[in-house]
Amino acid sequence: MAMQLSFFNSAVLTVVALLSIGNVQAEELLDSRMEAFLVENHEGRESLHAASVAEPGNVLEYQLTYTSRATKPLAMQYISVPISPNTVYLRGSASVSATSEFQVSLDGGKTWSSEPVKRQIKDKGGKLQEVVVPESEYTNLRWHEKSDIAPGAVKQYHYRVKVL
């Protein structure tokens, strides 16, 4: 059953870019765009197509683009997005055209960890073991920016999810 990417529209509204810019409104200094693409493989060649509908098993690539309209460098702190309902993040698919630290959250963005996220569990014998948390438990993604965005510069962030 195909699902309309209506969750994509709500995700666009919840993308957060925290800037260190004083009292100036962020939307005056930074243009942002979020696009969804269907990832298709044909005979080993990958292609991306604008997505408005997705079916279970499809892989989507989200591309976030930020363009500075400022006259001075902007100190971007965080770019944060939720994992849309009925999708799971594909580990290792996050990339960026800037210097940043990629992190994930398991609790709606309250706490953040670098990948792979690990936790301790007790095995059947009661001994503690460290295990990798599955991507299905990720609720949010974020990039902690380490560099400013120069006037007129563009920063892009990419990640992929699989539709459940």
Query: What is the domain partition of the chain in residue ranges?
Result: 3-163
Strand positions, DSSP E, 21-153: 30-42, 45-50, 53-54, 59-68, 75-82, 87-89, 95-96, 100-105, 118-122, 128-132, 140-145
Q: What is the pLDDT of residue 22?
A: 46
pLDDT of residue 23: 43
For 11-26, what is the mean pLDDT?
46
Of 78 and 113, the one with more pLDDT? 113
Q: What phi, psi does 8 have (nearest 5°)?
A: -60, -45
Of the given ranges (5-14, 48-57, 125-134), which has the lowest mean pLDDT? 5-14
Percent of all residues in the chain with a pLDDT value above 90, rounded to a whole number = 56
Tell me the helix, strand and coil percentages in the chain, rounded to 5.
Answer: 10, 50, 40
Residues 93-150: tens digit of each pLDDT: 999 866 889 999 999 999 999 999 999 999 899 999 999 999 999 999 999 888 888 9
Closest CA to 88 of 46, 140, 123: 140
Topology (CATH) of 3-163: Immunoglobulin-like (2.60.40)
Neighbours of 59 (CB within 10 A): 20
Average model confidence (pLDDT) across the chain = 84
